[in-house]
Structure 1
Amino acid sequence: MSKKKYTIQNRPFVVPTTDGKVIKEHFGIASTGNSKLSIAHMIAPPGWSEPHQTPEFDEYTFIIKGKKQFIVDGDIVVLNAGESIKIEKNTKVQYANPFSESCEYIAICMPAFSIDLAHRA
């Protein structure tokens, strides 16, 4: 019998949060032990924000619904549904949803997201 060459993820790791944000990691360190790549489905509630960080990973974000604000090296960037962004590693960034609707998005990090690599301020 040959080994399957695909993995279906229907039990993502739900990251515990205290700020109302929903984080479901489908692939990555917490869910599958993969340190090369992480893929997470997220919902950021209205008024949510994170501290600034300078992560040691590239982060790709695709907005599904709503909009999200990024402060990247001092530039304010707002993305709407259907738009995406790549933020290169070692770049100072802050993620926020200062808007009145939730923002649903997918985040992909290479290497995988880890709080130790995020370097939050």
Structure 2
Amino acid sequence: MSQKKYTVQDSPFIVPTTDGKIIKEHFGNTTDGNSEISIAHMVAPAGWSEPFQTPEFDEYTFIIKGKKQFIIEEDTVILEAGQSIKIEKNTRVQYSNPFTEACEYIAICTPAFSIDLVNREA
């Protein structure tokens, strides 16, 4: 019998958070040990923000619903549903949702997201 050449993910790893953000990692370090890529479904509540960080991975974000703000070095970028962005590794960035509705999005990191590679500022 041949080995399956696909994986259906219906029980993603739910990353514990303290800021109201929902993170469901479908593929990546914590879910299947894949350090090359991570794919996560996220919901950032209204008013959410993270500290500035300079990740050692490329991050792609696709907005499903709502809006998300990115401060990328000196630029402020706001994305809406249907838009996407790639932020190159070693770029200082801050992610936030200063808006009144939750933002639902997909984040893809290459190599995979790791707390050891994100370099969040205190």
1:75-115 alpha-carbon deviations (Å, 9 max, x no partner): 00000000000000000000000000000000000000001
Identity %: 75
**2:27 aligned with 1:54, yes or no?**
no
**2:21 aligned with 1:21, yes or no?**
yes
Write the letter of the residue equivalent to 1:87.
I
Q: Which residues in structure 2 correspond to 1:106-117 (within 5 Å)? A: 106-117=106-117
- SS of 2:95's partner is strand
For 1:106 and 1:80, locate their aligned partners in 2 and report how far apart those are by CA, in whole Å.
Answer: 13
Write the letter of the residue equivalent to 1:11.
S
For 2:19 and 2:13, locate their aligned partners in 1 and report how far apart those are by CA, in whole Å.
Answer: 17
For 2:94 and 2:74, locate their aligned partners in 1 and report how far apart those are by CA, in whole Å.
Answer: 9
Aligned-pair Cα RMSD in Å: 0.3
Quote the offset at 1:74 in angstroms. 1.7
Q: Which residues in structure 2 correspond to 1:1-121 (within 5 Å)? A: 1-121=1-121
For 1:50 and 1:30, locate their aligned partners in 2 and report how far apart those are by CA, in whole Å.
Answer: 21
1:17-41 alpha-carbon deviations (Å, 9 max, x no partner): 0000000000000001000000000
The runs of 5 or more residues in structure 1 that have no matched partner are none
Quote the offset at 1:43 in angstroms. 0.1
For 1:3 and 1:24, locate their aligned partners in 2 and report how far apart those are by CA, in whole Å.
Answer: 27
TM-score normalised to structure 1 length: 0.99
Over 3 Å off, 4+ runs: none
The runs of 5 or more residues in structure 2 that have no matched partner are none
Write the letter of the residue equivalent to 1:103.
C
